[in-house]
Amino acid sequence: MNVWNFIAAAACSATILVQVSPARSADREIPAAAADGTSAPNGHPLERADLEAWLDGMVPFALKAGDIAGAVVVVVKDGAVLLQKGYGYADMSKKLPMDPEQTLIRIGSTSKLFTWTAVMQLVEKGQLDLDRNINDYLDFTIPNDFGKPVTLRDLMNHRGGFEEGLKDVLWTNPHGVPSTAKYLKDHKRPMLFAPGQVPAYSNYGAALAGYIVERISKEPYERYIERHILLPLGMTHTSFDQPLPERFAAAISKGYRTASGPPGLYELIVTRPAGSGTATVADMSRFMLAHLQDGHVGDAQILQAETAQRMHSPSEDAPPGFATTAHGFLRELHNGRTVIGHGGDSIFFHNEFELLPAEGVGIEFNFNSRGRGDAVYLAREALFDGFMDRYFPDTAAPVDSQALPTALADAREIAGRYESSRRVEHGFISIFYVLQQSVISANPDGTISAPSFPETDRVTFKEIGPQLWRRVGGKQQLALQTIDGVKTVVDSTDPTAVLQSVPLRRSASLNLTVLLGSFLVLAVTLVLWLLSRWLKPAKTISEEMPLVRRLRLFLRAAVAFDLIYLVAWFMLLRPLLNTELDVYSSNLDSVVRALQFSGLLAIAAAALGVWSAWRLSRLSLPRTSRVWGCIVAAGLLGVVWIGFMGGLFRFSVNY
């Protein structure tokens, strides 16, 4: 998967995430549900006994196969809870079972739905306007880099134009955690795109919306959510406070990488409105029912019916069959039914929240472990897809379209390297984006092959219309467009990001070759230097030997410095590869600064190396010595290239 899929799946995603859950769309007719609220013909009736039997066969197997500690599931139907059940353990060492009514779980980016609900409450009261410049609501300024203001609608649609950020997003030490206001002001995200143009999932944007709720309501965000959503709905086992109130301490599920490993520390989400929620699934069923029933549960009303219906409607356009956003919800057609919802991921917890408004059905489930090899993502996808296929199957006959005459030419046109619009370009994290990208390739038969997260194998797509491809054996579609002059691939399952064609200078094949080639040259040079006293044959010392020795010493010193420089950067980046995101906080600024200033020495080392190689080339030395000097100089220049392209030389601690 691309790097931000990796980061977002670890942090607060919909993250780095591109959501693992499918996105949402409503651009085709919806088949009517059965009159009694059960599934359409050919599906199993959605009844408690059948659902429980199916889950009992599905979930325990997924936990065991994926080395996942536990899961909780709740399904609502026709205004009531149909089934809620826990599987596995909330605490492996104590063998404490997952309890749907008592066990609290982190819901990650599903928290955003509470933020967007709060926004719509204030829109309903006339206190917020979705199409007004958000600077009118803030006590600091979001730069208007593209001559167009950012609106709340842009934030809801993940089209604020912001690049991603990692620093200070996740903490595990409860002391010194910055407030949302401080985070937003100290970590302003650069803008990559004009507002409203390119989707790029943004936790920063959601946090801005929550901060606006706080400022307009004149209540702390956590208290607003509690007073206007949680308490009216009777969600007494839910909190957005961090750390959790003491009364909940014993009920929170521990989070695991794998069930067979130790538990992790409690995760503190600094972008609180984007992912700080903690709840039981029993409580979450109340939130589901409220959104399935036009904003009310019993006597409690959190949204007027008209506002709720507006919130569930698309807030941006999308091509037929493509997912879209619906005022913060992600909206799609799944098996011919409209589904709205939002997934959520922290490092350890992985949540899915899905509603079928026309059927009056909702499902939420949460796993408390990543699992072996990140198995949770396949388990999560399989559980929701299995639920839909069993109870709401697609009754439409599969269509096998004929190959288009232009298929091969179009396949060659879409082929190439792409990077996600959800990325970092202005900090050292950007090095990942120039070393790893998505590749779409053209096949001889006119089909294309492309990656598809969370699967590890590439999948095949067949062109079904001009510049439009459908997955063979599936419904996922890819469309090739040009947006702001950039060749862009739009994925029908994800309205929160697109793939953008990579210019040659950012190509992973180029930059990875430069990095590995440079490192190999420098490492071999260092090894040969260390072994030189045993490998070097006796020679008559010429009059110019002192100069040769001095020039070789300069080269070796430059090589040694660059190797130390690269290893130091690798050590700084290694926690990210292990999803240890709490490492990247303001406490690391001095280290980052030191490495950034060391980049000046790397540039000086390259200049010294080039000069030394040039001088050696003009001396009467064996050809191999002169050629190797040039190769070493190229290796030193390669480090400088990677430093510039990967953001290692940028003097900023905002990443």
Has residue 540 got a pLDDT over 80? Answer: no
pTM: 0.90
Q: What CA–CA distances, in Å, run from 588 to 6, 150, 455, 593?
A: 22, 31, 34, 9
Predicted pLDDT of residue 33: 35
Q: What is the token pair recorded at 398?
A: 């599969």
Dihedral over alpha carbons 352, 23, 491, 495 (to 10 degrees): -120
Q: What is the DSSP letter of 221?
A: H
Q: Under DSSP, is residue 364 helix (H, G, I), strand (E, B) or coil? A: strand
pLDDT band for position 601 (50/70/90)? very high
Minimum mean pLDDT range among 46-55, 229-238, 399-408, 436-445: 399-408
Minimum mean pLDDT range among 284-298, 304-318, 354-368, 549-563: 549-563
Dihedral over alpha carbons 427, 5, 14, 483 (to 10 degrees): 70
Q: Where are the domains of the chain?
A: 23-391, 407-502, 506-645
Q: What is the token pair recorded at 413?
A: 């046109």
Has residue 22 got a pLDDT over 80? Answer: no
Residue 340 β-bridge partners: 331, 355
Minimum mean pLDDT range among 39-53, 339-353, 560-574: 39-53
pLDDT (average), residues 610-624: 85
Which of 9-23, 230-244, 449-463 is most confident?
Answer: 230-244
Residue 325 β-bridge partners: 330
Do the bridges between strand 238-239 and strand 278-279 make them parallel or antiparallel, or are there none, so unpaired?
A: antiparallel
Chain centre to alpha carbon of residue 30: 30
Closest-CA residue to 447 (of 468, 464, 465, 461): 461
Sequence-separated (6 or more) residues with CB below 8 Å from residue 481: 467, 488, 489, 490
Has residue 448 got a pLDDT over 50? Answer: yes
Report the interhelical angle of 623-645 vs 545-577 (nearest 10°).
30
What stretch of H or E contains 440? strand 438-442
pLDDT (average), residues 336-350: 96
- Rounded to 5°, the CA angle 348-350-353 comes to 155
pLDDT band for position 543 (50/70/90)? very low
pLDDT (average), residues 27-42: 40
Neighbours of 8 (CB within 10 A): 30
Q: What is the token pair recorded at 246?
A: 């003491």
Q: What is the DSSP letter of 363?
A: E
Predicted pLDDT of residue 398: 67
Minimum mean pLDDT range among 51-60, 367-376, 450-459: 450-459
Torsion-angle region of residue 308: left (phi > 0), alpha (psi -120 to 50) or beta? alpha
pLDDT (average), residues 297-301: 93
Q: What is the token pair recorded at 252?
A: 């929170």
Minimum mean pLDDT range among 82-86, 171-175, 232-236: 171-175
What distance in Å separates the CA atoms of residue 360 and residue 357, rounded to the nearest whole number? Answer: 5
Predicted pLDDT of residue 41: 58
Residue 96 β-bridge partners: 91
Q: Which superfamily, per CATH, for 23-391?
A: DD-peptidase/beta-lactamase superfamily (3.40.710.10)
Minimum mean pLDDT range among 12-21, 123-132, 241-250, 330-339: 12-21
Has residue 564 got a pLDDT over 60? Answer: yes
The DSSP annotation for 495-551 comes to TTB-EEEPPGGG-HHHHHHHHHHHHHHHHHHHHHHHHHHHHPPP-PPPTTHHHHHHH
Torsion-angle region of residue 78: left (phi > 0), alpha (psi -120 to 50) or beta? left
Q: What CA–CA distances, in Å, run from 335 to 24, 41, 74, 476?
A: 12, 13, 21, 12
pLDDT band for position 397 (50/70/90)? low
Residue 647 β-bridge partners: none
pLDDT band for position 467 (50/70/90)? very high
Neighbours of 170 (CB within 10 A): 24
Predicted pLDDT of residue 537: 54
pLDDT higher at 454 or 569: 569
The burial of 484, by beta-carbon neighbours within 10 Å (0-12 exposed, 13-18 middle, 19 or more buried), is given as exposed
What distance in Å separates the CA atoms of residue 508 and residue 503, rounded to the nearest whole number? Answer: 10
Neighbours of 43 (CB within 10 A): 19
> CB of 348 within 8 A of CB of 256?
yes
Mean pLDDT, the chain, whole residue set: 90
Closest-CA residue to 645 (of 468, 431, 396): 431
Predicted pLDDT of residue 550: 86
Number of helices and strands in the chain (H, E): 17, 23
pLDDT (average), residues 471-488: 93
> CB of 8 within 8 A of CB of 18?
yes
Which of 169-178, 223-232, 419-428, 443-452 is most confident?
Answer: 223-232
What distance in Å separates the CA atoms of residue 645 and residue 655, rounded to the nearest whole number? Answer: 15
Has residue 541 got a pLDDT over 60? Answer: no
